[in-house]
Amino acid sequence: EPEVTQTPSHQVTQMGQEVILRCVPISNHLYFYWYRQILGQKVEFLVSFYNNEISEKSEIFDDQFSVERPDGSNFTLKIRSTKLEDSAMYFCASSVGTEVSQFFGPGTRLTVL
């Protein structure tokens, strides 16, 4: 069964460093998303991406964040200068359309020291 994959599973970084989280969405899906979940809190929407551009972003997704689809299979989230409060699980998701189910990857645990 097709699934969303994410790498790495765990990333440890120093405050102020740049990190890139990688995702391979399900191959026939057209809509891509990033969410995050701080330990013990709700899953929060960050950004949605369609047709090589951002469709919607939350107030969390500030200038420190960017997304890119560098080729036909990968979807990346870059955090330019990490802060302690960026420590969280980051989930990538994808869907065929906008009114159907979003399928989530296993997540990347980001720890900022």
Partner 1 sequence: EDQVTQSPEALRLQEGESSSLNCSYTVSGLRGLFWYRQDPGKGPEFLFTLYSAGEEKEKERLKATLTKKESFLHITAPKPEDSATYLCAVQGEYSSASKIIFGSGTRLSIRP
Q: Is residue 103 close enough to count as binding partner 1 by CB under 8 A?
A: yes
Q: Is 84 strand, coil or helix?
A: helix
Q: From residue 48 to residue 67, what is the string marking binding to partner 1 with x (rule CB under 8 A)?
A: xxx----xx-x---------
Candidates 14-22, 62-70, 71-79, 92-100; binding stretch for partner 1 (CB under 8 A): 92-100
Q: Is residue 31 close enough to count as binding partner 1 by CB under 8 A?
A: yes
User: 110 has which bridge partners?
Assistant: 11, 88
Give the chain's end-to-end CA distance (angstroms, integer): 37
**Are 107 and 94 within 8 A, CB to CB?**
no
Dist. CA 42–CA 86, nearest whole Å:
15
Closest contact distance (angstroms) between CB of 50 and partner 1 is: 5
Contact residues for partner 1, defined by CB under 8 A? 4, 31, 33, 35, 41-45, 48-50, 55-56, 58, 89, 91, 98-107, 109
